């Protein structure tokens, strides 16, 4: 900093560390709870250190599931979440890339109309059109299917704008050089534009994977068959068990598993994640 004030520096570190402790606390408690037998949690003396039931609890949820949540093994839910998250991510990136390419590199009637149509989706989050969207998906017979889980979510104005923005910064001469080199629209896209976009694609992948994995309301609506439950919504089924008290140790183990994939993605790909976050808000 500007001047040397050791006590202020120490204070800064302390405040940040305190912030981190408060941030991490819920995860620690959750992890601890997921390693104890249910009796330890229910008897009123809340444990602060991990117990000895780590393998047992995680094996139970992964393999057998929790009866209140339809007895679906969490392993299946994790798989469903993965399929949904990847379908949404890859789908969004793919259709946004080609749509942005069309808008930036082609001149055709109704170009701006198409652009605005895509823009409007920004203003229509699923939360504001729950019922009619559900009706459409039901009429198409897509309830309880991976297509129904992911397809209605893959139109993305944000991703299209991001790619459009990026394409506009690509020097015009590259396209011209490619034309002289005999590359048509498809070759130019595949050989030049796509490789140049890979950092943007990767950054967007991180953001969209988290978005897809964390979907809650939509899977809640379109899955009635337990075998299509995703993990994030599956937890809710466990906590809201009507007949009995929640089996907290298993709920917490499931919660840990639900958090793990997106958190790992963010921490491992931190640079790309920050880039993606900043760029999608432009």
Partner 1 sequence: MAELHLSGVQKIYPNGYHAIHGIDLGVADGEFIVLVGPSGCGKSTLLRMVAGLETVSDGTIDIGGRVVNNLEPADRDIAMVFQNYALYPHMKVYDNMAYGLRNRGMAKDEIDRRVREAAGILEIEPMLDRRPNQLSGGQRQRVAMGRAIVREPSVFLFDEPLSNLDAKLRVQMRVEIKRLQRRLGITSLYVTHDQVEAMTMADRLVVMNGGRAEQIGTPIELYDRPETTFVATFIGSPSMNLLEGTVAEGGTSVALDSGASINLPDPRADLAGRSVTLGVRPEHLTPAADGSGMTLRLDLVEALGADTLLHGHLDGDERRLVTVRLSGHFAPGQDSVQVAATDAVHLFDRETGGRI
Partner 2 sequence: MIKRVTFRNPWLPYALLLPQLAVTLIFFIWPAVQALYQSLLVEDAFGLSTEFVWFENFEELFADPLYLDTFWNTVVFSFSVAFASMSLALLLAVMADRTIKGATAYKTLLIWPYAVAPAVAGVLWFFMFNPVVGINAYLLRGLGYDWNHYLDGGDAMILVVIAASWKQISYNFLFFLAGLQAIPRSLIEAAAIDGAGPFKRFWTIIFPLLSPTTFFLLVVNVVYAFFDTFGIIHATTEGGPAGATQILVYKVFSDGFIGLDLGGSAAQSVVLMVIVISLTVVQFRYIERRVEY
Residues 6+ apart with CB under 8 A from 257: 58, 61, 62, 74, 78, 231
Residues 6+ apart with CB under 8 A from 102: 108, 114
Q: How many CB atoms lie within 10 A of CB 161?
A: 20
Segment 191-210, which members bind partner 1 (CB under 8 A)?
A: 191-192, 195-196
CB of 63 to partner 2, least distance (A): 21
Segment 164-183, which members bind partner 1 (CB under 8 A)?
A: 171, 173-174, 176-183
Nearest to 257 by CA among 126, 89, 69, 91: 69
At residue 268's C-alpha, the angle toward residues 99 and 251, to 5°, is 95
Segment 220-279, which members bind partner 2 (CB under 8 A)?
A: 220-221, 232-233, 235-236, 239-240, 245, 248, 251-252, 255, 258-259, 262-263, 265-267, 270, 273-274, 277-278
242 binds, among partner 2, partner 1, none (CB under 5 to 8 A by kind): none
Q: Do the beta carbons of residue 228 and residue 70 sit within 8 Å?
A: no
Distance CA 252, CA 266 (A): 21
Segment 141-200, which members bind partner 2 (CB under 8 A)?
A: 151-155, 160, 167-168, 172, 175-176, 179, 184-185, 188
Distance CA 59, CA 141 (A): 35
CB of 112 to partner 1, least distance (A): 16
Residues 6+ apart with CB under 8 A from 170: 193, 196
Contact flag: residue 56 with partner 1 (CB under 8 A): no
Total residues at the site for partner 2 (CB under 8 A)?
A: 105
Site string for partner 1, 28-47 (x = CB under 8 A): --------------------
Among 13, 187, 190, 271, binds partner 1 (CB under 8 A): 187
Residues 6+ apart with CB under 8 A from 108: 102
191 binds, among partner 1, partner 2, none (CB under 5 to 8 A by kind): partner 1
Segment 63-102, which members bind partner 1 (CB under 8 A)?
A: none
192 binds, among partner 2, partner 1, none (CB under 5 to 8 A by kind): partner 1
Residues forming contacts to partner 1 in the complex (CB under 8 A) are: 171, 173-174, 176-183, 187, 191-192, 195-196
């Amino acid at each position: 900093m500007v001047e040397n004030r050791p006590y202020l520096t120490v204070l800064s570190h302390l405040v940040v560390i305190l912030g981190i402790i408060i941030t991490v606390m819920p995860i620690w408690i959750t992890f601890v709870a997921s390693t104890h037998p249910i009796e330890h949690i229910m008897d009123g003396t809340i444990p602060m250190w991990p117990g000895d039931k780590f393998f047992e609890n995680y094996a139970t949820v992964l393999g057998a599931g929790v009866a209140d949540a339809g007895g679906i093994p969490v392993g299946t839910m994790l798989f469903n979440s993965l399929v949904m998250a990847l379908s949404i991510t890859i789908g969004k990136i793919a259709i946004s890339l080609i749509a942005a390419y069309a808008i930036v590199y082609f001149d055709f009637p109704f170009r701006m109309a198409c652009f605005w149509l895509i823009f409007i989706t920004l203003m229509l989050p699923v939360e504001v059109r729950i019922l009619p969207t559900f009706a459409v998906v039901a009429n198409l017979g897509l309830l309880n299917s991976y297509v129904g889980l992911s397809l209605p979510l893959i139109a993305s104005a944000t991703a299209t704008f991001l790619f459009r923005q990026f394409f506009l910064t690509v020097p015009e001469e590259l396209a011209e050089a490619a034309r002289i080199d005999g590359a048509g629209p498809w070759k130019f896209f595949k050989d030049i534009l796509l490789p140049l976009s890979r950092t943007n694609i990767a950054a967007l992948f991180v953001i969209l994977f988290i978005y897809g994995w964390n979907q809650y309301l939509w899977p809640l609506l379109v899955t009635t068959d337990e075998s299509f439950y995703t993990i994030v919504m599956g937890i809710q089924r466990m906590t809201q068990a009507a007949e009995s008290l929640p089996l907290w140790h298993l709920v917490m183990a499931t919660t840990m598993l639900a958090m793990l994939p997106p958190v790992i993605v963010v921490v491992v790909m931190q640079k790309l994640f920050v880039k993606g976050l900043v760029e999608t808000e432009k």
